[in-house]
Amino acid sequence: MTIAEKEQEIIREFSLYDDWLDKYNLLVEMGKSLPLIDPQYMTDQYLISGCQSKVWLHARMEEGKVFYAADSDAIITKGIVSLLIRVFSGETPDTILESDVAFIDKIGLKEHLSPNRSNGLVSMIKQMRLYALAFKTKAAAQEKESSETKPEIPLETLVIDALKTVFDPEIPINIYDLGLIYDLRIDPVTHDVYVLMTLTTPNCPVAEDIPGQVETAVRSIEGIGQVRVELTFEPPWDKDRLSEAALLELGLL
């Protein structure tokens, strides 16, 4: 099944229930079928930061596809991460990075979570995408080593891919296609990266978190140098900066 097909299957399952208490029970049942993480990975190294409860996540790459395993000490959180694994596991890094996880909004999950759990959901998605990005970068490096005749993936492309793993909390579009990146500079020698970015509004509730997410995403690229992210609100962001992909996603094209 494709990611889109798996998402539609989940949407159908949740649509069978009108009461959110029943939907929470469905989440609990889904959590029981979660492929458990090996005990050796239940350490602080694999804990997802930003989650109210403890969530351990591990990923492995097999034949070009990413497979996830996880566990949590909270039953609802366990159900949430099981949904994400169901969608992402067994997919290629590119497919995972390109997914907009729109099914989360379509089943009404985010709006029925507490603020802490909602932040935890965002952190889980971010960590799964970072794993995918790391695998993609590693695979690209290995491919380069195995054959000098194959074209090298430009570092700028990898940085842009990394930026596309960070999503605006209010609009389900990545920050690059939203046009939040005002300037991107990469030193050709040191591979230091400078990012000048903005937010859709100065009142964004996670204004302090997104630049850190950008820095983490770019730092995950193998061979990258120093990373500096600067936030500005001049000039203010407007919808004219949306890419064609974003306009299409929002139904404006």
| pLDDT of 141 | 81
Specify the domain boundaries for CATH 3.90.1010.10 within the chain: 1-146
Checking if the pLDDT of 156 tops 90, the result is: yes
pLDDT (tens digit per residue) in 204-243: 776 778 899 999 999 999 889 999 999 999 999 998 999 9
Residue 247 φ/ψ, nearest 5 degrees: -60, -40
- The residue type at 72: S
pLDDT band at 147 (very low <50, low <70, confident <90, very high): low
Cis preceding linkage at 154, omega within 30:
no
Beta-strand pair 193-197/227-231 = parallel
Centre a 10 Å sphere on the Cβ of residue 105 and count the other Cβ atoms it contains. 12
Tell me what the pLDDT averaged over the chain comes to: 88
The residue among 238, 230, 233 whose CA lies nearest residue 196 is 230
Long-range contacts, 202-205 (Cβ 8 Å, 24+)? 202/233, 204/168, 204/169, 204/170, 205/169
CA gap 206, 214 in Å, rounded? 13
Beta-strand pair 55-62/65-72 = antiparallel
* Interacting residues of 55 by C-beta distance below 8 A, sequence separation 6+: 47, 48, 70, 71, 72, 77, 81, 120, 124
Specify the domain boundaries for CATH 3.30.300.130 within the chain: 154-253
Active-site entry in 26, 30, 51, 214: 51
Structure tokens at 34: 């979660």
CA gap 50, 127 in Å, rounded? 10
| pLDDT of 168 | 82
Across-strand partners of 66? Answer: 61, 91
What pTM value is reported for the model?
A: 0.58
Annotation says 204 is catalytic: no
**Is 1-146 a CATH 3.90.1010.10 domain?**
yes
| pLDDT of 50 | 67
pLDDT (tens digit per residue) in 160-177: 999 999 988 777 789 999
What's domain 154-253's architecture? Answer: 2-Layer Sandwich (3.30)
